[in-house]
Amino acid sequence: MHTRHAGIESTWTQEIMDGKYARVFVWNDKESMWAAFGGECDYVGRCVTFPGAILDARGLLLGRKFAEIHLVRNQIGSGYVAHEFQHLLHYWAIFQKLDPACDEHDELLAQLCGSMITVFWVAFYERYKTA
């Protein structure tokens, strides 16, 4: 996805870990987001991950971009944001071969989740300050 699509209100980069990042897109409305993805859909948020598409022969992720999070501005709330970031976290765990049942991995994933959500809300409120 590039930032020139009609309907993108705001976008920013969020680090995940190990130098990889997700790009966050905030859309004006669901119709603009749907159009960018090829037509009408029934969702107002989306997490798109790329690990399978950009692995080299050694199984290493090429480039730093791991995912995109797409959100519709008038739908943004804590549960909605957590839902899309949970998708990202799920695919990150698979990509990193992390086992949520392992105590060490469970804590790493919980810390990563907390960090990503905190960074999201800081970035969001910097862009959408209210009086």
What pLDDT shows up at residue 96? 85
Task: With CA atoms as reference, report the closest residue to 89 among 65, 72, 110.
Answer: 110
What pLDDT shows up at residue 98? 87
Alpha helices, DSSP H, located in the chain:
30-36, 78-95, 103-127
**pTM of the model as a whole:** 0.84
What pLDDT shows up at residue 57? 65
DSSP-derived 3-state class of residue 121: helix
Is-contact 70 48, C-beta < 8 A? yes
Task: With CA atoms as reference, report the closest residue to 117 among 19, 47, 14, 17.
Answer: 14
Is-contact 116 88, C-beta < 8 A? yes
What pLDDT shows up at residue 64? 79
Mind listing the pLDDT tens digit of every residue in the chain (131 residues)?
Answer: 555 678 999 999 999 988 889 999 999 998 888 888 887 777 888 998 875 555 566 666 567 788 999 999 998 999 999 999 999 998 888 888 888 788 888 899 999 999 999 999 999 999 988 74
Task: With CA atoms as reference, report the closest residue to 13 among 88, 53, 50, 67.
Answer: 67
What pLDDT shows up at residue 38? 82
Q: Round to whole Å and give the CA distance between 25 and 45.
A: 10
Is-contact 117 87, C-beta < 8 A? no
* Edge-to-edge order in the sheet of strand 8-15: 8-15, 21-27, 65-72, 45-49
